[in-house]
């Protein structure tokens, strides 16, 4: 990690505009970006979870270390830019509240987005104290290919099941919709109130978006926890992990006649055959198709965007050569 004289390694807890809140062996500090980093067009700007090189004198962040994993989503509005939300997360707790109907499609999407960034997903069914019948939930979560843990952040019930992911040096992020108890869970694990929590609306159990920024905190065990604001969903980035999230479909697709079968109209499609036989859940098939078509659309848009950028580049080159000729 080639630190130079006068630099130390620090971890980003949160960033807001120009200020970067860092965890260092000496305690928390607030730093700013060095001028060189700010003016470097190819530089990555630090996000929560990043390891950075900090110049102790003047508290300037001078570099961001390569990221092992990242939590990404498509930048809202602009075409095809991945926005890195957090870095170097080992485990993503996909938190769901048992006070509302489980939405498998939402769950699948979070899991997929985590896997795409190299983060291991663990499904946390929180609010287990409410006495929800878990049979249906178990059948819906059984096919996700992730560990599933039932907890109550309120009573502490079931939290010990999370210990394997909370060892020293491990970084765990809580993601999921607003109001499911992410902050309550992290407070409970931490053993004190550090993150603000908010009541859900009694009419429809929707959250109020209490947490507004991503913030990394350190546990007494040496693990790091990242609280995140409730997201409706992540945009998907690439499709590499679609088949591991829909394992049964991935397995079946090996038997389709065409290697690039989309399981929509092709003859000899093992996936549609299995569905006709009742061997494949229709909801899972629909979820798969929705995500797959979104990925195809994104890929197309990226390609068109790249072509557009290329055209602009050539236009600029032509303009320059024309003026040179004068
Ligand atoms: N019954 C019950 N209520 C819980 C549990 N965990 C959290 N809650 C309640 O659910 C509400 C929302 O909790 P938060 O921790 O603020 O939820 P959040 O996921 O952080 O929400 P955002 O920050 O808005 O994304 C609060 O009223 C909590 O007290 C639980 O295990 N059981
Ligand atoms: Mg919160
Ligand atoms: Zn097929």
Q: How far apart are CA 77 and CA 48, in angstroms?
A: 22
Q: What is the pLDDT of residues 227-270, one digit of tens each?
A: 988 765 555 555 556 776 788 888 898 899 988 888 988 999 99
What average pLDDT does range 177-194 have in this prediction? 84
pLDDT exceeds cutoff 70 at 125: yes
The top-scoring range by mean pLDDT among 87-96, 292-301, 313-322 is 87-96
* Whole-number pLDDT of residue 312: 66
Would you tell me how many other CB atoms lie within 10 Å of the CB of residue 55? Answer: 17
What 3-state DSSP class applies to 64? strand
- H/E element holding 290? helix 282-325
The answer, yes or no, to whether any atom of ligand 1 lies below 6 A from the CB of 96, is: no
Protein residue with least CA distance to atom 3, ligand 1:
127
Pocket test of ligand 1: the residue of 95, 155, 179 to mutate, having most ligand atoms within 8 Å of its CB, is 179
The answer, yes or no, to whether any atom of ligand 1 lies below 6 A from the CB of 200, is: yes
Q: What value, to the nearest 5°, has the Cα angle with vertex 261 and ends 268 and 303? A: 160
pLDDT exceeds cutoff 80 at 296: no
HEC string of 189-256? HHCCCCCCCCCCCCCCCCCCCCCCCCEEEECCCCCEEEECCCCCCCCCCCCCCHHHHCHHHHHHHCCC
Among positive and negative, which fits the CA dihedral 80, 83, 87, 91?
negative
Ligand nearest to the CA of 289: 3
* Whole-number pLDDT of residue 198: 63
Ligand nearest to the CA of 198: 1
What average pLDDT does range 82-108 have in this prediction? 89
Band (pLDDT 50/70/90 cuts) for residue 325 is very low
Q: What is the pLDDT of residues 37-81, one digit of tens each?
A: 888 888 888 999 999 999 999 999 999 999 999 988 765 444 555
The answer, yes or no, to whether any atom of ligand 1 lies below 6 A from the CB of 177, is: no
Instruction: Specify the higher pLDDT residue, 206 or 263.
Output: 263
Protein residue with least CA distance to atom 29, ligand 1:
199
The two tokens of residue 107 are: 């769950």
pLDDT exceeds cutoff 80 at 211: no
Number of H helices, E strands in the chain: 8, 13
* Whole-number pLDDT of residue 101: 83
Q: What value, to the nearest 5°, has the Cα angle with vertex 75 and ends 186 and 107? A: 45
HEC string of 10-23? EEEEEEECCEEEEE
What average pLDDT does range 161-180 have in this prediction? 92
Domains located in the chain, CATH noted: 7-64 (2.40.50), 70-227 (3.40.50.300), 246-307 (1.10.40.50)
For residue 54, the number of C-alpha atoms closer than 13 Å in the C-beta half-sphere is 24
Q: How far apart are CA 234 and CA 142, in angstroms?
A: 22
Q: How far apart are CA 253 and CA 102, in angstroms?
A: 27
**Minimum mean pLDDT among 74-78, 83-87, 101-105: which range?**
74-78
The answer, yes or no, to whether any atom of ligand 1 lies below 6 A from the CB of 194, is: no
Would you tell me how many other CB atoms lie within 10 Å of the CB of residue 233? Answer: 12
């Amino acid at each position: 990690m080639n630190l130079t004289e006068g630099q130390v390694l620090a971890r980003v807890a949160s960033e807001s505009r120009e200020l970067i809140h860092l965890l260092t062996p000496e305690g928390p500090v607030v730093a700013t970006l060095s001028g060189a980093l700010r003016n470097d067009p190819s530089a990555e700007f630090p996000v929560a979870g990043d390891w950075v090189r900090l110049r102790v004198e003047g508290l300037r962040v001078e570099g961001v270390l390569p990221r092992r994993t990242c939590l990404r989503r498509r930048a809202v509005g602009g075409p095809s830019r991945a926005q890195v939300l957090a870095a170097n997360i080992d485990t993503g707790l996909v938190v769901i509240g048992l006070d509302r109907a489980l939405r498998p499609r939402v769950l699948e999407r979070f899991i997929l987005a985590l896997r795409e960034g190299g983060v291991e997903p663990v499904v946390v069914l929180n609010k287990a104290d409410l006495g929800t019948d878990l049979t249906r939930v178990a059948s819906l979560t059984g096919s996700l290919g992730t560990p599933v843990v039932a907890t109550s952040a309120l009573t502490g019930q079931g939290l010990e099941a999370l210990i394997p992911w909370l060892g020293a040096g491990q970084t765990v992020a809580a993601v999921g919709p607003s109001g499911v108890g992410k902050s309550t869970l992290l407070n409970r694990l931490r053993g004190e109130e550090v993150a603000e929590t908010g009541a859900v609306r009694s009419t429809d159990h929707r959250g109020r978006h209490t947490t507004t920024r991503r913030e990394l905190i350190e546990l007494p065990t040496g693990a790091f926890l990242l609280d995140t604001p409730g997201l409706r969903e992540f945009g998907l980035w690439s499709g590499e992990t679609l088949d591991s999230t829909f394992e049964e479909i991935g397995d079946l697709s090996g038997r389709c006649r065409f290697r690039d079968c989309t399981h929509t109209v092709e003859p000899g499609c093992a996936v549609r055959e299995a569905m006709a036989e009742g061997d494949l859940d229709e909801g899972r098939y629909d979820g798969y198709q929705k995500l797959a078509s979104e990925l195809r659309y994104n890929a197309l848009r990226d390609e068109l965007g790249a072509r557009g950028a290329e055209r602009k580049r050539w236009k600029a080159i032509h303009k320059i050569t024309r003026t040179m000729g004068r």
